[in-house]
Amino acid sequence: MNEIRTPESIGLSREDLPNSYIGRSVPRPNVAKLVQGRATYTDDVVLPRMLHAAFLRSPHAHARIVAVDASAAMQVPGVVRVFTGHDIAKVCDPWVAVLAHLKGMKSAPQHPLPLERATWQGEPVVAVVADSRAAAEDGVAALAVEFEPLPAQVDMETALAPGAVVIHPELGDNLVFQRTAVQGDVEAAFAAAHKVVEATFVTARHTGVTLEPRSIIADYNRAEDTLTVYHSTQAPHMMQGVFARHLRMEEGRVRVICKDVGGSFGIKVHVYPDEVAVAAMSRILGRPVKFVADRFESFCSDIHARDHRIKGRIAVDAEGKILGFDIDDLTGIGPYSVYPRTSAIEGNQVVNLCGGPYDFPNYRCTTTVVLQNKVPTCQYRAVGHPIATAVTEGLVDLAAHAIGMDPIEMRRRNLVRDDAYPFTSPSGMRFEGLSHHASLEKLLRMVPLARIRADQEEQRKRGVHRGLGFAAFIELTNASPFMYGIGGARISAQDGATVRMDPDGSVVVASGVTEQGQGTEAILAQIVAHGVGVPVEKVRVITGDTQVTPYGGGTWACRGAGIGGEAALQSALALKEQILSVAGALLQASPASLDIAMGEVVDKASGTPRISLSEIGRIVYFRGDTLPRDLAREFVQTRHFITKEYPFAFTNGIQACWVEVDTATGMVKLLEHWCVEDCGRVINPLLVEEQVRGGIVQGLGGALYEHCVYDGEGNLLTTTMADYLVPMAAEMPEIHVGHVETPTKETLLGAKGAGEAGTAGAPAALMNAINDALRPLNAVVTEMPFTPARILRALGTI
Amino acid sequence: MSARVDITLTVNGERVTRSVEARRHLIDFLRLDLGLTGSHAGCEHGVCGACTVRVDGEIVRGCLVLAASLDGAEVTTIEGLTDSGEVADLQEAFVLRNAAQCGFCSPGMVMAAADILRHHPQATRAEIREHLSGNYCRCTGYQAIVDAVESTLRARREGAR
């Protein structure tokens, strides 16, 4: 067990151990400003001489740009300038989004605004800059752009077929990446199996729908040769490097400031061509330029995700033991791999994660990643997990039904044993320690199984079809450089924290991880308060400014608590050591005999207060002359952390979903939902639980309502929130969350990530619940979203 | 590009006179002309509820109301609602229950919840969910928000006894 003192580790209640904040549901300080309208989002920032950008976006899925006539646009009052792709290319270099460790991966160079061809409907083509957003949009309306429509490659199933439109002829074909993982002898195992079950799953194309749209202000100052970018982003340091590299500037001359961010979910960790164009236009104009996507632009230019078709087979023996999975995944990613994380990672994750919770000998999984003329796809909350979990848990349930076994018993027989760790999965993932069985047992203590099954039976007699579904899952968190760094991407897996004590005894922590609402700043304050020994109210947190915080990766792959939190804890403990060293000199005591509790240095044995931190601060900062000459008084301490033992810290959990399906209308009503997750040490249960709930709702929305619908010509049909449905309060169920804690031994803190678990498991649990409800009617659905039409088709009603 | 209209109205108790473009909607008027950035533009087509404000006592979508139509109107935004103390208990409940994550929906959500407190003091959990279902929150899963409104309603009912 990690050597950090928690109330449990020394046999106390939380209340008995002063300033013990790890594991406590402390209210999040940021919430007050949010509910009072006092937050500052990027669009709230107004700079002197600021201009506004609007974009003409391609109306075609694929078209040659024949001519751009800006003369009428330039006559619009307020319009300052019009930029084409060629104008931007003079100051900005294109990018190619590939990773070296994804063998054979290819993609084409992408400019902020295309030079010759538009390759998806919604791609920014021409920019108008004006003194207001309204004037810029008037200018866009006055542009005359001549397009020559070209045949579009829309269907991913035909992307590699002879005669397909090759979107980038220089690449030779539309294949971006292909990978197969093999373990054991799949053919022999399936040939000899007691039962083989197969199904084809479709996970719908989704997008994030952050309530705050993508927002940016770029301010190039010619006098200083500096570019300051206010950006709604998850990764300020990564973006600093991107802006510098592609605008041919020194990295140190670019500063990215991230104010409050109105939701991200992975959407705001990518390089968007319109945003880089804004930075380039500011560089050319020497003035601040603002761009905030409107909702139409969000739907047609924020990344999409999860557009997969998966054919899967599972082989089991007569006792229900899983012998193998055989999976073929196909995904269409749009016309470009997205920079710099690439659009091959989601398919790669499907290969890594299928079968993840289970112990089985034979595995084969192929992902094929192809180009198409649709919005580019990339990493979105729980990257690949909802897909892999839906396929795995869908197949496990179908197999259980095929051999007449209870789905819970099926899982008990196959989940990796809790004492089997360390464990390496058939796909090669290394697990330090998971708790599938403990989580299942905890879930079964929360779900009133007997009552539900009795109710199900009773309702069926009355023609009401209710179903209960389960989904076990694993989640990849605390990523090391094995995720991106080894592929050549300048994406930091390390993070740092600087902690300082000011004269009044208050503490400030500056961290490289970032806040988008998940509560990063709150848990950093808790960790630092715990580590130094001060009340949490005495800690201020700074994130989201590349000029102020230690270099770090920001928010991705659930790393804020596990990586950023550990750096904060280590720097807090280093500061505590310095404070105690000074206190020891002042008190003529051994520092080892002292401790800090609630802002007071105390005698460790008796707890008697000896001197306050504010008094130590007064002496150090204003009467340093009274201290021994050689005594160190470094009240600013910085530590960095990077995982070294395991490429990723996996978490696990299991969800249950209880639904009612109206067989007349095909409507699904969510009745109740449960989740037990193990994210290692829980720092703040209140925050983790609501984050898990939010993740579940995002997963349920994706499985039930959300779908980026295209027609056969590549026209996006869902470009308003009335067309792309998201979950609202009335449709969502009460969600119960429980925890099992298996801290990672790699850190003192023991925390792993928690933000994506809900989304990873919810769609599979819902699918299995619907199919449980439909089982007496011999209907099965495996194509998301589970719309009324699809359910009625499965029932044979339409 | 369009005609201007002179309006005089009361915003958060203060008299305001402005000349606005006829096409200016209320949310842009509040944010851009008056600097009241607490209300947010989320979808600008009346679905997400981030721009919810009070006009003449009723909550409206700031993106579906033209500023030019508000001559003589009384507008209350999250800034005014907060300053008045009318929902201090509700806002405190949001904090205690962690009923906000990114917070972009929160001002609109608080405006909609304040409407429940005023007009539906006996609202059940299901009715709270129904009433808030014009306000989109991508982060929380809604449960904490419903909890916060429910606990505020309960506390007010008990306080009134």
> Are A212 and B21 in contact (CB < 8 Å)?
no
For residue A628, the SS3 value is coil
Please indicate, yes or no, whether residues B71 and B136 belong to a single structural domain of this protein.
Answer: no
> Are A263 and B47 in contact (CB < 8 Å)?
no
Residues of B in contact with A30 (CB under 8 A): 103
ipTM of the assembly? 0.98
> Are B104 and A690 in contact (CB < 8 Å)?
no
> Are B45 and A722 in contact (CB < 8 Å)?
yes
Show the CA angle centred on residue A282, arms to residues A290 and B32, nearest 5°: 20
Residue at which a domain ends, from B77, B99, B126: B77
Residues of A in contact with B106 (CB under 8 A): 34-35, 37
Show the CA angle centred on residue A254, arms to residues A253 and A255, nearest 5°: 120
> Are A38 and B38 in contact (CB < 8 Å)?
yes
The whole-number pLDDT of residue A165 equals: 98
Residue at which a domain ends, from B54, B77, B100: B77
Residue at which a domain ends, from B40, B59, B77: B77
Domain of residue B129, CATH code: 1.10.150.120
Please indicate, yes or no, whether residues B91 and B156 belong to a single structural domain of this protein.
Answer: yes
> Are B138 and A722 in contact (CB < 8 Å)?
no
Mutate to test the interface with A, among B98, B128, B133, B135 (most CBs of A within 10 A): B98
Residue A557 — pLDDT band, cuts 50, 70, 90? confident
The answer, yes or no, to whether residue A569 has pLDDT greater than 80, is yes
The answer, yes or no, to whether residue A336 has pLDDT greater than 80, is yes
Structure tokens at A518: 């998940």
Q: Are strands A609-612 and A636-641 parallel, antiparallel or unpaired?
A: unpaired
> Are B42 and A211 in contact (CB < 8 Å)?
yes
The whole-number pLDDT of residue B160 equals: 82
Q: Which residue segments constitute the domains of chain A, with CATH numbers given?
A: 42-150+209-301 (3.90.1170.50), 383-475+648-794 (3.30.365.10), 494-641 (3.30.365.10)
Domain carrying residue B57? 4-77
Residue B161 — pLDDT band, cuts 50, 70, 90? confident
Mutate to test the interface with B, among A24, A30, A34, A731 (most CBs of B within 10 A): A34
Stretch B16-43: mean pLDDT = 98
Residues of B in contact with A77 (CB under 8 A): 1
Cis? peptide before A162, omega within 30° of 0: no
Stretch A746-756: mean pLDDT = 93
Please indicate, yes or no, whether residues B71 and B90 belong to a single structural domain of this protein.
Answer: no
Note whether B152 contacts A: Cβ–Cβ < 8 A: no
Nearest Cα residue in chain B from A78? B1
The answer, yes or no, to whether residue B15 has pLDDT greater than 50, is yes
Nearest Cα residue in chain A from B141? A694
Q: How far is A598 from chain B (nearest CA, A)?
A: 22
> Are A261 and B45 in contact (CB < 8 Å)?
no
Please indicate, yes or no, whether residues B11 and B62 belong to a single structural domain of this protein.
Answer: yes
Domain of residue B69, CATH code: 3.10.20.30
Nearest to A757 by CA among A706, A705, A682: A682
Stretch A42-54: mean pLDDT = 98
The whole-number pLDDT of residue A14 equals: 45
Cα B121 off chain centre by: 18
Query: What is the rounded end-to-end Cα distance, in angstroms, of chain A?
Result: 58
Name the strand (E) or helix (H) holding A431: strand A430-431
Residue A493 — pLDDT band, cuts 50, 70, 90? very high
Name the strand (E) or helix (H) holding B152: helix B143-160
Q: How many domains does chain B have?
A: 2
The whole-number pLDDT of residue A17 equals: 59
Burial-class residue A24 by CB neighbours within 10 Å (0-12, 13-18, 19+): buried
The answer, yes or no, to whether residue A535 has pLDDT greater than 80, is yes
Please indicate, yes or no, whether residues B134 and B96 belong to a single structural domain of this protein.
Answer: yes
Note whether A72 contacts B: Cβ–Cβ < 8 A: no
Note whether A138 contacts B: Cβ–Cβ < 8 A: yes
Q: How far is A416 from chain B (nearest CA, A)?
A: 30
Stretch A182-202: mean pLDDT = 98
The answer, yes or no, to whether residue A449 has pLDDT greater than 50, is yes
- Digit-coded pLDDT (tens) for B42-63: 999 999 999 999 999 999 999 9
| Percent residues over pLDDT 90 in chain A | 97
CA A329/CA A315 separation, integer angstroms: 18
Please indicate, yes or no, whether residues B47 and B104 belong to a single structural domain of this protein.
Answer: no
The chain-wide mean pLDDT, for chain A, equals: 96
Nearest Cα residue in chain B from A696? B141
The whole-number pLDDT of residue A1 equals: 34
> Are A28 and B139 in contact (CB < 8 Å)?
no
Tell me which residue in B21, B37, B95 faces A31 most closely, judged by beta carbons. Answer: B95
- Digit-coded pLDDT (tens) for A60-83: 999 999 999 999 999 999 999 999
Please indicate, yes or no, whether residues B71 and B120 belong to a single structural domain of this protein.
Answer: no
Name the strand (E) or helix (H) holding B153: helix B143-160
Residues 6 or more apart in contact with residue A457 via CB below 8 angstroms: none
Stretch B63-89: mean pLDDT = 98
Stretch A685-695: mean pLDDT = 96
The DSSP symbol for A38 reads: -
> Are A210 and B44 in contact (CB < 8 Å)?
no
Please indicate, yes or no, whether residues B152 and B90 belong to a single structural domain of this protein.
Answer: yes
Residues 6 or more apart in contact with residue A546 via CB below 8 angstroms: A236, A237, A240, A254, A255, A256, A257
Nearest to A370 by CA among A402, A396, A401, A336: A336
Cβ within 8 Å of A, B 28-47: 31, 36-45, 47
Please indicate, yes or no, whether residues B65 and B48 belong to a single structural domain of this protein.
Answer: yes
Cβ within 8 Å of A, B 79-118: 79, 82, 91, 94-107, 110
CA B52/CA B137 separation, integer angstroms: 13
The answer, yes or no, to whether residue A693 has pLDDT greater than 50, is yes
> Are B140 and A690 in contact (CB < 8 Å)?
yes
Report the C-alpha dihedral over residues A635, A641, A645, A651, rounded to 10 degrees: 110
Nearest to A745 by CA among A644, A677, A654: A644
Please indicate, yes or no, whether residues B67 and B94 belong to a single structural domain of this protein.
Answer: no
Cβ within 8 Å of B, A 720-739: 720-722, 726, 728-732, 734-735
- Digit-coded pLDDT (tens) for A638-656: 999 999 999 999 999 999 9
Structure tokens at A104: 């054979």
> Are A686 and B94 in contact (CB < 8 Å)?
no
Note whether B150 contacts A: Cβ–Cβ < 8 A: no
Tell me which residue in A38, A209, A263 faces B102 most closely, judged by beta carbons. Answer: A263
Please indicate, yes or no, whether residues B103 and B140 belong to a single structural domain of this protein.
Answer: yes
Residue A20 — pLDDT band, cuts 50, 70, 90? confident
- Digit-coded pLDDT (tens) for A571-582: 999 999 999 999
> Are B106 and A260 in contact (CB < 8 Å)?
no
Please indicate, yes or no, whether residues B70 and B101 belong to a single structural domain of this protein.
Answer: no
Cβ within 8 Å of B, A 513-542: 516-519
Note whether B141 contacts A: Cβ–Cβ < 8 A: yes
- Digit-coded pLDDT (tens) for A397-432: 999 999 999 999 999 999 999 999 999 999 999 999
CA A454/CA A743 separation, integer angstroms: 38
The whole-number pLDDT of residue A8 equals: 58
